[in-house]
Every structure is written in structure tokens, then in C-alpha cells.
Structure 1
């Protein structure tokens, strides 16, 4: 095997002179289905409020107008959105993009320190926050030197002095257009940034991935073309992405999966999105039943709950005709269980990264189940190489590191040329994942060559936790590894060499070991977002390293597996997202 190319080509024209809102709201692409009758684009989960395309365009205009009038937001200014999904989250995105600004979505679970890092890295000029996140938002803004008047709330809070999106939209709609919408020159869409989406690297803190407008548009067209969403001549059982369907927007819009696949792709192909602010499993089931959801995008922890939670039997899930899982591999066992639970649905997986502007593989469209454990097939326009350790290209069935090219790949990491050079190489992305392909061009992810730990689809860089742990007085040396977990995919486990003082205390009184362990775990819990919390601390005499000082994580991962197999390792897990 030299290179693998995605089937289904050639791709339709990918416009490189449109912004994302112009592509989605103002134009028609040949691969886009035409709706036979009006339908809402968005539904607010709790209230049932419906918003159609005309209202979305008007709200987007109103907010863009207000941003321009009040803050003079314009070319390459950064607007950070900090909060869970909200029915006006896409309005905030598209309003910013209409002005030529750049959007950076932040995890609502972030601490003030973590949000501060994102605000300072991107030099954000505006911070839009959900009311539930306002205290963290204000603290991070203060530390970043962002004036309080530049913090905006999605919804009004009685007595709060901050502007809110609802009032700003109304104000903007009361005035004539105060901004000149950005018009791109041919080819400029490939360079003009739309998003700074954060992705963790193998070392250090998260990095901002530079995603241009063209990358988002390209990936949407790739998915629409592959799924043949427009083709109504196909047998009905093959039309799994039929216009008029309904999706559940429960995955967060700040994450590339929710942002691109759920928000932009599903709206492009004529689906209505039920926007969910916060995941609650029984409400998730109720929403599927109440809104007759046809297309589900999930992550493996949700699949675990669907297969094992006793409440599932109380709900009618028969409307689901397509379930796609991504962000982490879904096991063959879970795929089979999902297939039994949803006999009317096709089950598949996708594989992608923030750096590839989401998916490079997608579920098969010609059969209900792909090969068990596979992450889908290469999308049209994508080319893959599997490189063995000796630099040669692997054949079918042989493992190696995935290097991939696609019209959707990002430009690199913002203000980080060294990291960019390591991952982005002449139009290719070095993924750091060990994979193989079968004869059907289905991908199978074996392991991560890079050292990221993936917890419920979120990337956790071990080096970030190690650096933090080394500040604790009881930690002399440390190595953090991921251990497999059926629910979360992986969980961070810290192998710790106790400091001399801690060792002396534990030697004098062995019962203090538990207190030392708990204090180390609390040190992380007090300063890091939930998915970065340690599942356990294992004391060790020395951290294995190679002659150059590099941590030998694989040795400790193997040790953790052995300890767990022998029942000597107990992890603290929480069965909730």
C-alpha cells in the first residue's frame, strides 16, 4: 500500500471565497438538499421554542450590528464564547464571522485559570458567557485585563450590569446596517481564520488550532457528498441523512465534533437541531422520544449508558435511523449491543481531529454495520498514509502512524511555529495515532503514539498534569498515563514517587499513605476541570526513563494494566458525563 484515497470522488466545487455564514445562510450549494416545506432550524430543548431560517438570519444580523456599534468588533478580533450549548450560540458564532472576527469556544467546565489561558492566548476582545458561568468568566476577564463591559451574557440576569445577547439583538435590529460585511477574494477563504479551537498537544498546555472558513465548508461538503444527502432516488432504507430529519445537539458546540458535524453539517443537509444545554441521560432519552430524533451523534460514554442504563427500557427510541459515535473508539461489543437496542438504526463511527477540522473517515453508507470496531471509511478528498517505525509505508492490515491529507485540514497552531512544524507537514497532518486499514478502506485505531489521554472525547495532556503535580510538596517525581475505562475511554492515573519528606511520614506511620494519596488527587481536583481529575495515584520507587530522560509511559501503562488485572489497582470513576 502506498496511499489510500477516499472513494466517492471527485468532490463538488468547494467555494473558497465565502465565509461560513454566507455559505450556510446566504447561498445554495449543489450538494445541499432543498427542503420541500418550511421547518425550524433550531428547537430549544426545555421550552420547545422553534427558530426558523429567517429568524436566524435576522438574529445574526442584529447581533453583528450591535457588536459593531458597541465594541467596533471587526477584522481578526477574537470573540470567546464560554458556556454550554444555547439556542443563540450559533447566532453568536455567525454574527462574529460576518464582521470578519474569529471565534474561540471555551469549555464551560474550565476554571478561571484555564479560561484565562485561553483569553490571553487568543487576545480575546469580547467574552460571551452563560449566566451559570458568569463568576468564572468575570474572574478570568479580570485577570486577563478584559474590561467588565466586554463580558456579555447569553440571557439577562436581574440586577447584573452586563449586556446580554437578547437585548443586543433587539438593539441591532432597530438600526440600519452599521457594518460592511466581509467579502473574500477568490482563494482567501483558505487563509481567513474562522475559529481558534483548542486542542492539546503531546506536551505543554492546549494549543489553538487555526481553522479557516474554507476548512469548515470543505468538510461539510465532503460529508454531504459522501452521505448523498440530496439523492432522493436511493432506496429509502439507504437514506440515513434525509432532509427533514432531526438531530439532538447535546454534544458541546465549543468542541470540534459538536461545532462542525452537529451544528454545521446537520443544518446544511436540512436537519432540525434540538439544542440541549446540559446532558442528563434520562432527559436525553426523553428528548429522543418527544422530538422523534432521527440522527444521533454520541460519544462512547453515551453508548455505554444506552446499552446498560435501566431507564432505557422506559423510552421509545424507534425514531432513530442513524447513530454515529466519534471522539474515541467504540468497541465491537458496544456496537453489537447498540445494534440490538436500535434495530431500525444504522450504527457507525467516524475518526477525526481538531487539526483536520473534524472527520477524515465517516460511517459506511451501504450497510447497516461496518466491520466491528472500525472507525469508518475515508471520506472523498482524503488521502491516508500509514507509516511504519522504519519510515516505510504499511500495507493493508499492517499498523503504523496515520498521516492524512484533506481539503479540510487546519493551518497550524496559533503563534506556535514549532508545534505546527511537528504536526503539519506540507499539506499532511501527522496524527500520532497507530492505525491500520482493511481492504474496504475501513480504519481501525490501535493506540495513540502521541501521549494524549482521551477522557470522554476530551484531550488531556499528561505533561500538563505532571507539571501541576510537581508543585505539590509530597510529589518528588511523577508520570501520568491513561488507563482503559469502558465508560470514559481512558482515565488519568498518576504514578508518583513521593518526596523524601512524604516518604519519611509514611515510613513512620504507614496509615498516612492514604492521606497523602488523597491530598495529591485533591490538588488536581481543586485546580483542573473535571475530566482532568485523577482516577488514582499509585506510589512507585522510580519513574522509568530512557537515557535522554524521556518518560517511558508505555512501561507504566503496561504496569497499570497488570495491576488492574490482578485486582491491585482500584480507580475512582464517576458514571456521569
Structure 2
């Protein structure tokens, strides 16, 4: 047993976990950071197998298990699995009582704050450690080498770093070797086979001292004597008797570390990273750095190269942690349980944002069941046009299981269902029924034409279509001849060959029926289509993990806000107003989240100005979630004066940028309004990547802070990361980022590069981390090479009392390249083109003047999500040229 209050050191590696006690020369236990679960649970559990295995035990049973790594790129991606790893460490490997110890954890550079908070919470709340310290693994590697100054190259399973960080390491080499072997005709796709490839890599791959010479020698049938290299082929027998032969793959695989371009990565090699890191330091210490290079991590690919290093180099980070934790000063470095929990709970975004580990329908049904226990007849939805028409929580649950049973009877399992309807009370039970059957819902706009609907039906491959009486005829026409569509459900009377909604929900559910198994990480739950402003609409694949994590994020934000006001986050929410279209991811999220907070919502089928205002007045709606065009309506439309809208205290506005003048107008017109919140996101991130906190609300144009669990970088046109304050393209990554575009690998690769989602939006961050959107990358107007953001000019023009709405686009010009042109919706017919142009002149630089002209139109074309359809305006201009 260890001494009381000694420190436990856990080096959380992407590939191997090292653990032991402070003061020891080596870790007590080293095992693979792997969780294995039976591939065929029902059969194997019946034979007495456990539901999961950890580390070496999982490795030995890999033939019948599905293996998962809970750490990727040095960051924890599956907290449930990681918690199981830690449980194994403390209670199986070390056999300790955590409350008697402090703990030192390692992390990689650029680890996000929310991950650090989550680690702290689990260690202190779940396991009960009395204090904790988190340290960079590279710093600990220095200590292990007896140095406090030097440059560290740490290359493990998931990430390689010096000062910069490269998401290329041992795991990527394993994948590259697997692909090289596929070129030889070997199929190695299971998780168990990938582990065999990793073992082959570690045993037989090596770095060639001269890659070009070695490759030329082994690939040429007639090598010259000077370049000849005798390469011994390696033969490996798989458990099934298959023979695998390795030739040049032995050195082609690790060469990727020096030339990442071999696998399509635009990054420097590790030798260049080392050199650049040292050269960026002061000149007087460079020689020290070059003479004190610490190599940490794996050693398996360096066999032809002489490396002078201690035998425990693979464990250098752990050894450094042991040395640090043995020092008397270490107690002062640790944060106590009280200090850390205070930090975690006082985070501006709440406690933490756990990634989703269960299907979305389970999250929603759990909240429905909670409500049924206390208020089964509480309405979920109330129809705004006919308040007598309601759907209760109890009715919702019954309809969900009836829909699932009906779909099961129609052979619908893990397929796509399309919804072509305005906002309605049936939308949510239909979605949840589809989800229960392992399917995904793809919403289509009720204003789509037959051509647009058919394109979505064909692209999605949907087999079931849900519609209403108003959209039935065009839905039938669009579906005509598409063999994939087997079932059309209509709200209202159904002709022969169709099914009515009443018939569907009258289906008796079978409680004993086994539901399809959901793969949270890979099964898609919704398939929204992007707005189409940058090309053909694309199906955005959002998995249960993507959308479920977004729900968890939104839930945590609300809980933090409720607690800060002394309110109970678990209490049923205030009455809501659903005006955003459900087919769009923004409106869909708002609809589902209403059930998560156990609220009642008044549903508008579409935006009708008087019904919108009357609903706010009659139901005393305290908070509305809208898009900028509705904000313009609230600011300027005289119809609003007929209604009492003072109940609204909070407005959430998204989908497009909002200018300072518009916010000022709304605040002036509604002095009782307390807050206007803005965020930032897109369909491809399941709704929002940035959320406003208290510090963001008073910054005009601010889109909030990066949501925990997400990462962001801002880059220039060459891909170089820009510092704070400089505007460039916004790139994000995290658990809410889409799996890709359905059936469009090329577009997916263009948008998702090295795990980063390239948004096409231009922005910058301030010193507090708040994001400010400048414009859309493809909407920028370039006048003589200078950038003109349309949003800037639109914000100015909307302050003119005679302008109701405006959009600015670039029109071609032979000399300047492009010139800004304004399309204006007049409030006063007396307004002239010259008056509009003159209004801008004294407010912006000359190259931003409206030299492309001014044109008055009846309405600005916009998508239902509120985005200006600039392409239509450009096409309008082209037709005149």
C-alpha cells in the first residue's frame, strides 16, 4: 500500500496510459488506452463475457471485441470510456482509495479549457481526490532528463508537438501503413486488425537515413551498385492464416513524419518543427536548445538511427511527473478540491458540456417522462392559429411510439424520412418516431417547388415522406417515379395508397419489441440541407453525438443562467413561441430544446405579423428566438404599436449579422427589453459554435465566445493562423461538427480539412475571446483589391429613416474589378438614388462608396433562415448587362 497523501501520477496518452506513485523511478502499470466491447453483445454476454474490457485484457480479446480509443489527438473524446480507464487505474492497477491522495495528470498543448474542467470535476467529485495538478507532458519530459531548459519533441500515438502542435503521430502512421497494405491487396478494416497493423509497425517499420536513395533502390528493378540497398522483406501471419508481406512499406510509413504531404497534410515535418521552434527563440539560447533536444514518446521507428537516451524514454513524461510530485513545493502547485470546484461551477458557461453518449430520442424521452410523472396533461405545443388544438406531454409520448411501430411495420429501419410541411404540432412526434427506428429526418421547406423537393428526395434517398394537405399535391408530383419512396403520410384525409396521420398514431405500439441499436458516433439523426447560397444544397449529416452534444451545450448554458438568477434549472421552462421554421437546424434545435426544458410552446406555422404580435401579447411570451428580418420588423413596422409586447425581456437572434443601429432602434422602441443575445454557428456545427455570455452582451456586433468542447482558429488565404485581432476565415472543430455531406466526398474534403470545418465566414477575436463576424468570405466585394464587407454598408444604410431594408452586392467593373451596389426597399417613395448614395459617402472610405449604383426593389430576397440571397441579386444584375 502507498503512504497516505502520496501523489498518483497518470500520464493520459492517446495510445498508452502510464500510472504509478510519486517518487518511483518508473510507472507501476503501463497499458493501452483502449476500451473493448463485444461485437455481438447478446450472444457473448450470454456466455458470461463482461460488457467491456480495458487495456491489455481488451487487447488479448481483440478478435471478438470492438476496440475504441477514448483519447484522440491528446484530447479526451469519450468521457464515459475515459472514466472507465481511470477506474481501472485506481481500483485494479494501483488498488488505492483516491480520497487519500493528490493526483497529477498530464495534458497535451492546446488542450481546451472545458476538457481540463471536466477532468478536474471527475477526479474531485467522482473519484474524490483531495487535490489536483495538471501539467504539460513536454515540461515533465524535461524534468525527467534532468533539465529545466531545452527543446522537447514529443511524438506519441495521437499528437506530435514541439512548440507548435502537429496532429500527426503514431496512430496516423498505423492508418497510413494500413492503407499501404491495402495497395498490396490486403483488407484490414476491423479494430482488431488495426491493432495488428500497429504491432507490425512498431516491430518492423523504420526511418530510412536517406529516403530518396532507399526508395529509388527498392523500387527500381536495376539499382546501381552505389545506391543499392538490401531490404529484407517481412512476412507476418494473421490469426486467420492470411500471410502479409512488407517491403518498402517498412520505411515509407514513418517517412510521413518528415513529409506529411505524403498523406495530404500541408504541414512541416518534425525536423522542420524542431528547427523553427528553436529559431523563434532568443538568439542567445538557440545553441542550448539545439544541443539539448529531448525526444519523448515512441521509439519504435528509429532503429537504424543511434539515439542516446535513457531506457525509460517512452515514459519520460510520467518520470518527470514523479520527480515533480516528490518535491516539497508540489503541494503548493496543487489546487484543492474546494478551489477547483469553485472554478468549474463559476465557469461562465456552467458546470461542463458533456458530449452525448446516448441517442437523441433517449434524451428527449427522458424529459417527457419526467413531465408525465407530475403534469401529464401539460401542453407541449399550442397552435397559435387555433388555441383549442394542443398536444400534451402524455399524447406526445404515445404518438412517438405509435409512429415508430407504424414505421417498423412498413420496413423502415435506419433509413431517411423527409418532412415537407410548415411548422406543426405533429413534427416532433414524427421525428422522435423516426429516431426510435434508427432513422434520420430530413426537413424540407414548405415553400420549395416541385423541382427543389424532387432534388432533395433523390439526394437524400428518403423512403418515407411526411406532409400536410397544403403541400400534398406538389409532394406527390415530386415523388412520382422515385422507387425509393414507399410511404407518404399526410396530415388530414388520405387518398388510396397514402396514409393519414390519424391512422399512423392509431397504431398500437408493441412494448416488447426490440428497438434498433443506435451507433451514437456514426448513425445520423437529422439530415438538414445547407441554404444553397454557396452552391447546390447539400445534405448535412448530423449524428446523434453531434446533435445530442449541441443539446447538452444548450442545456448547460441555460442551467448556468438559471442558477445565476437564483432559479431552479430543473423547473419547467417559461412559455415559448416557435416561429423559426422547423426544417432548418436553428428552428429544429429551438423546438427540441423546448421539450428538454419541459416548456409549453405556441407554434406558428409561418411568420404572420399580426398573429406573431398577438401571440406574444396573449401568452405574455418572455423570450423569443428570431432571425434579423423579424428584428427589423420589430424595430420599424408600425403594426407592432397595436400590441402590448412588453412581456418580452430577452431576444435571441441568429442566422445573420445584426448591426448596432438596428439593436439601438429595438432597444429604443422597447425600453422594457433587457437583453438581445447573438451567437454564431451554422448547420454544419449542429447550430452554434459560439454563445454569448454576460461579458459579450454589451459588445455590439459580438457573436459570443467559443463554446466549451469546441476549438477555433482564424486563418489567412494561405492557411496561416492569425493572431488575436486580425480578421480571417473562421475554422472550428469539435464534437458538434458534422460527419460530412451526404454522398459528396469532394465537398466534404473541401470543407473539412484535417478535422477543421472551414466556415467561409470572416471574423476576429478580441482580448476576451469574443468573436466578431466581418462578413462571408464569398460575399466580400473587392474594389481595386481592397475588401468591402457588404454588412458594413448595410448596417449604415439601415439607419436611414426612409430605408426599410437593404442588401449590398458587388457588380463587375472593368477597371476596379467590382463596385458596391445597393438594392433598397424604400419606406418613403420620395427617397431618391442620389440620397441613398450620398448618405454613405461621408461615413466610409471612397472605395466603399456606392459607385455600382442604387436600385429600388419591393423586397430583399432571403432564405427562410434570414440570410440574404445575394446570388439572386447578382443574377438580376447580370440579366441587365
Give the structure-2-normalised TM-score.
0.50
How far did residue 204 of structure 1 move?
3.6
Deviations along 1:124-175, one digit per CA (max 9) or x if unpaired, are 111111211112101100153466x722212236x676312122101x13x5
- The answer for the alignment partner of 1:15 in structure 2 is 356
> Is 1:569 aligned with 2:569?
no
> Is 1:64 aligned with 2:392?
no
Judged with a 3 Å threshold, the aligned counterparts in structure 2 of structure 1 residues 298 and 211 are, in CA distance, closer, same or farther, namely same
SS of 1:355's equivalent in the other structure is helix
How far did residue 295 of structure 1 move?
1.9
- Is the Cα contact below 8 Å between 2:349 and 2:560 reproduced in 1? no
> Is 1:46 aligned with 2:382?
no
Deviations along 1:263-286, one digit per CA (max 9) or x if unpaired, are 122321232221111210111000
What stretches of structure 2 of length at least 5 have no aligned partner? 1-109, 115-347, 782-789, 824-832, 838-849, 865-881
Deviations along 1:309-359, one digit per CA (max 9) or x if unpaired, are 112122122222221000001111111222231524311111111111110
How far did residue 243 of structure 1 move?
3.8
How far did residue 438 of structure 1 move?
1.6
> Is 1:151 aligned with 2:488?
yes
SS of 1:392's equivalent in the other structure is coil
- The answer for the alignment partner of 1:176 in structure 2 is 510
Q: Let me know the Cα RMSD of the aligned residues.
A: 3.5
Larger deviation: 310-319 or 77-86? 310-319
- The answer for the alignment partner of 2:306 in structure 1 is none
Judged with a 3 Å threshold, the aligned counterparts in structure 2 of structure 1 residues 9 and 351 are, in CA distance, closer, same or farther, namely same
> Is 1:364 aligned with 2:689?
no
Aligned residues: 479
- Is the Cα contact below 8 Å between 2:709 and 2:735 reproduced in 1? yes
How far did residue 449 of structure 1 move?
0.9
Select which of 425, 428, 435 maps to 1:97: 435
- Is the Cα contact below 8 Å between 1:79 and 1:104 reproduced in 2? yes
Deviations along 1:246-300, one digit per CA (max 9) or x if unpaired, are 221111111010011x112232123222111121011100011112212200000
Select which of 619, 625, 638 maps to 1:310: 638
How many angstroms apart in 2 are the aligned matches of 1:557 and 1:34? 60
How far did residue 107 of structure 1 move?
1.0
Select which of 210, 213, 218 maps to 2:541: 210
> Is 1:112 aligned with 2:450?
yes
- Is the Cα contact below 8 Å between 1:370 and 1:376 reproduced in 2? no
Judged with a 3 Å threshold, the aligned counterparts in structure 2 of structure 1 residues 416 and 452 are, in CA distance, closer, same or farther, namely farther
How many angstroms apart in 2 are the aligned matches of 1:248 and 1:35? 25
- The answer for the alignment partner of 1:467 in structure 2 is none
How far did residue 432 of structure 1 move?
0.8
- Is the Cα contact below 8 Å between 1:4 and 1:384 reproduced in 2? no
Judged with a 3 Å threshold, the aligned counterparts in structure 2 of structure 1 residues 413 and 168 are, in CA distance, closer, same or farther, namely same
- The answer for the alignment partner of 1:457 in structure 2 is none
> Is 1:292 aligned with 2:630?
no
SS of 2:379's equivalent in the other structure is coil
- The answer for the alignment partner of 2:364 in structure 1 is 24
Larger deviation: 271-280 or 32-41? 32-41
Judged with a 3 Å threshold, the aligned counterparts in structure 2 of structure 1 residues 226 and 343 are, in CA distance, closer, same or farther, namely same
How far did residue 377 of structure 1 move?
2.2
Give the structure-1-normalised TM-score.
0.75
How many angstroms apart in 2 are the aligned matches of 1:405 and 1:371? 25
Higher relative contact order (CA 8 A, sep 6+): 1
Deviations along 1:187-208, one digit per CA (max 9) or x if unpaired, are x312111111111467541111
- Is the Cα contact below 8 Å between 2:808 and 2:822 reproduced in 1? no
How many angstroms apart in 1 are the aligned matches of 2:529 and 2:513? 29
How far did residue 384 of structure 1 move?
1.5
SS of 2:652's equivalent in the other structure is strand
Judged with a 3 Å threshold, the aligned counterparts in structure 2 of structure 1 residues 84 and 91 are, in CA distance, closer, same or farther, namely same
How many angstroms apart in 2 are the aligned matches of 1:401 and 1:33? 44
Judged with a 3 Å threshold, the aligned counterparts in structure 2 of structure 1 residues 252 and 388 are, in CA distance, closer, same or farther, namely same
Select which of 807, 815, 818 maps to 1:556: 818
SS of 1:198's equivalent in the other structure is coil
Pairwise mapping of residues 458-497 of structure 1 onto structure 2 (< 5 A)? 484=794
Judged with a 3 Å threshold, the aligned counterparts in structure 2 of structure 1 residues 137 and 12 are, in CA distance, closer, same or farther, namely same
How many angstroms apart in 1 are the aligned matches of 2:806 and 2:441? 29
How far did residue 4 of structure 1 move?
8.3
Larger deviation: 264-273 or 215-224? 264-273
Judged with a 3 Å threshold, the aligned counterparts in structure 2 of structure 1 residues 572 and 40 are, in CA distance, closer, same or farther, namely same
Larger deviation: 413-422 or 375-384? 375-384
Judged with a 3 Å threshold, the aligned counterparts in structure 2 of structure 1 residues 37 and 167 are, in CA distance, closer, same or farther, namely closer
Structure number with larger C-alpha Rg: 2
How many angstroms apart in 2 are the aligned matches of 1:488 and 1:418? 41
What stretches of structure 1 of length at least 5 have no aligned partner? 454-480, 496-539, 545-553
How far did residue 66 of structure 1 move?
1.4
- Is the Cα contact below 8 Å between 2:490 and 2:499 reproduced in 1? yes
> Is 1:122 aligned with 2:466?
no
How many angstroms apart in 2 are the aligned matches of 1:256 and 1:371? 26
Pairwise mapping of residues 354-503 of structure 1 onto structure 2 (< 5 A)? 354-365=683-694, 369-451=697-779, 484=794
> Is 1:164 aligned with 2:164?
no
Judged with a 3 Å threshold, the aligned counterparts in structure 2 of structure 1 residues 35 and 229 are, in CA distance, closer, same or farther, namely farther
How many angstroms apart in 1 are the aligned matches of 2:562 and 2:606? 34
Judged with a 3 Å threshold, the aligned counterparts in structure 2 of structure 1 residues 164 and 557 are, in CA distance, closer, same or farther, namely farther
Judged with a 3 Å threshold, the aligned counterparts in structure 2 of structure 1 residues 382 and 132 are, in CA distance, closer, same or farther, namely same
How far did residue 427 of structure 1 move?
3.0
Pairwise mapping of residues 229-268 of structure 1 onto structure 2 (< 5 A)? 231-232=562-563, 234-235=564-565, 243-260=572-589, 262-268=590-596
How many angstroms apart in 2 are the aligned matches of 1:156 and 1:96? 22
Deviations along 1:388-423, one digit per CA (max 9) or x if unpaired, are 334333233221111112221110111111111111
How many angstroms apart in 1 are the aligned matches of 2:768 and 2:371? 28
How many angstroms apart in 1 are the aligned matches of 2:499 and 2:445? 21
Judged with a 3 Å threshold, the aligned counterparts in structure 2 of structure 1 residues 195 and 301 are, in CA distance, closer, same or farther, namely same
